Amino acid sequence: KQEVTQIPAALSVPEGENLVLNCSFTDSAIYNLQWFRQDPGKGLTSLLLIQSSQREQTSGRLNASLDKSSGRSTLYIAASQPGDSATYLCAVRPTGNQFYFGTGTSLTVIP
Amino acid sequence: SAVISQKPSRDICQRGTSLTIQCQVDSQVTMMFWYRQQPGQSLTLIATANQGSEATYESGFVIDKFPISRPNLTFSTLTVSNMSPEDSSIYLCSVGSYTEAFFGQGTRLTVV
């Protein structure tokens, strides 16, 4: 069974700092990997989707990379803002339909 | 993309009762997924619901506890039956197959 781990579990940074969130997974046979943001009491908002054949995806201040062979993905957030405060989840999809989620990184950006 | 509406957004229920959560999608989709997020935990898939067939449940989840309906290609319901405090969680529906996944805003359930 696929296991997904996210480090760190919590992170607090001052506004303007660049930061990296890490995601590792045990089975490299994945179809894609997706990063989500979850705000308190809310659902999930999709941030970036990386197909297994891709190395990275970018959207605005966000950049996600994927190293399938080593079972790792990173989410880079540039010039962090207080509005970035949320829990960030990575999810991997094997060849079936199910996503396997990590436990998330709770990010706090201090003004 | 897909826009998913979930109702209710939150509820507080007495133990032993049942709650039905509704999920409406703005486009026709083949598969809909129901997830549970227990406090401090990540998301766990409960079941996959295909229109016109019985839902497929993941290990640890049974139909008697979590009956699911899928009457058409845009709607599904999940019922949490005979609730106990351990069922207090966020329940989310999701759509998407081999592409991007989209989620509803979730239903925060508290069982007292």
Residues B35-92 have pLDDT tens digits of 999 988 889 999 999 888 889 999 999 999 999 999 999 999 999 999 999 999 999 9
Choose the closest CB to B43 out of A31, A41, A101.
A101
How high is the pLDDT of residue A60?
Answer: 97
Nearest CB neighbour to A42, from listed B42, B94, B106: B106
Distance CA B86, CA B109 (A): 10
Rounded-to-integer distance, Cα B63 and Cα B50, Å: 14
Spell out which residues of chain B touch residue A31, defining contact as CB-CB under 8 Å. Answer: 98
Please, which residues bridge with residue A25 across strands? A4
The dihedral region occupied by A9, where left means phi > 0, alpha psi between -120 and 50, and beta the remainder, is: alpha
Neighboring chain A residues of B11 at a CB cutoff of 8 Å: none
The pLDDT of residue A34 is 94
How close B49 gets to chain A, by Cα (Å)?
Answer: 11
CB contact under 8 A, A89 and B42: yes
Selection from B92, B87, B5, B4 nearest residue A89 by Cα: B92
Per-residue model confidence as pLDDT tens digits over A21-40: 999 999 988 889 999 999 98
Check whether B97 has a pLDDT greater than 80: no
| Chain-chain contact of B106 with A102 (C-beta, under 8 angstroms) | no
pLDDT at B11 over 90: yes
